[in-house]
Amino acid sequence: MANITELSVFVVEPSATQAQFIRTRLQKVGVLLCTIFNTGTEALAAMHENRPDVVFSSMHLPDMTGGDLVARMREEEWSSHIAFILVSSESNPRYLEPVRQSGSCALLGKPFTVEQLKKALVTALDYLNPDNNKEEIIDGMSLENIKVLLVDDSRSARIYIRRVLANLGIQHFTEAENGKEAVGIIDQHFFDLVVTDYNMPEMDGRELTEYIRTQSWQSTVPILMVSSESNQSRLAAVEQAGVSGVCDKPFESAMVKGLLQKMLRPSDD
């Protein structure tokens, strides 16, 4: 199990000043091994030779964006064992959305404080390490027996979410690429939990939630919405449709753990 002092970190940052700033802050929180790269191409080549635990990347690189970098990483099977953290002041959804959908652990704004860096690294460690207390997450319920339907049109996002849930002790997953495919599955198989994205083709997360609550024989199954959606009216419609909990992309393992405790704990009735 990795801790902060044992982490191997790649920093992809074209500005020498910014790269040194990030390195110094990483050293302050205990990171001992930090390698700097100017371009995404250089970092990707190095990853094939020496796999890091965490990659910190700027958004705007000379040869690609941070979103391009994490997307190219996630094309490789081995990259699911690497935590990705974006370091950027970028606020344009055009650039941020691909990062959110590709399984990023955290978005760290520029400039950032040591405490914000620590929080991002804790999230990365949660992604990298299984939870030692996973058997105690819910009194009287073993998560290893829970059956989860995971619905997201992004393969990278499904891999990321699946790993986070597996680290909490969940072992049984069925995957669907959109709500329409999920409907066909949930009509035939029993699930203890549905985890779904909001924005999907064919049938989105709100429509899937409405179907489950009004037409499915599993109308009471807990539904966790994991989404980068920021439109409050849309989120309100999702909550009204009957989701059991909503969390953002990227999300913290501790937040998901708390939501699972609320959603899966048997009621007192």
Looking at residue 54, its pLDDT comes to 96
The CATH number of the domain holding residue 235 is 3.40.50.2300
Check residues 26 and 229 and name the one with the higher pLDDT: 26
pLDDT at residue 137 tops 60: no
pLDDT digits (tens, 9 = 90+) for 201-239: 989 888 999 999 999 999 999 999 887 665 565 556 666
- Among 78, 93, 128, give the residue marking a domain's end: 128
Query: According to DSSP H, which parts of the chain are helical?
Result: 16-28, 40-49, 66-74, 93-101, 114-128, 155-167, 179-186, 205-214, 232-241, 253-264
Tell me the β-bridge partners of 86.
57, 107
Clarify whether residues 144 and 178 are in a common domain.
yes
Whether 29 has a pLDDT exceeding 80, the answer reads: yes
Domain-terminating residue out of 93, 128, 163:
128
Q: Which domain holds residue 9?
A: 4-128
Tokens of 231: 């439109």
Domain assignment of residue 269, yes or no: no
Question: How many Cβ atoms from other residues are within 10 Å of residue 231's Cβ?
Answer: 9
pLDDT digits (tens, 9 = 90+) for 171-197: 899 999 999 999 999 999 999 999 999
Query: Residue 104 and residue 260: Cα distance in Å, rounded?
Result: 21
Query: Per-residue pLDDT averaged across 140-168, rounded?
Result: 86
Residues 6+ apart with CB under 8 A from 28: 114
Provide the pLDDT for residue 267. 56
| Count of structural domains, the chain | 2
pLDDT score for 156: 87
Q: Give the residue-averaged pLDDT of 9-21.
A: 96
CA 162, 164, 165: angle at the middle one, nearest 5? 65
Instruction: Please give the model's pTM, rounded to 2 decimal places.
Output: 0.81
**How far is it, in rounded angstroms, from Cα 101 to Cα 253?**
16
User: Looking at this protein, which amino acid is placed at residue 240?
Assistant: Q
> Do residue 259 and residue 162 come from a single domain?
yes
Count Cβ atoms below 10 Å from residue 117 Cβ, excluding itself. Answer: 21
The whole-angstrom separation of Cα 31 and Cα 266 is: 42
Residue 132 in this model has a pLDDT that exceeds 60: no
* Per-residue pLDDT, 269: 46
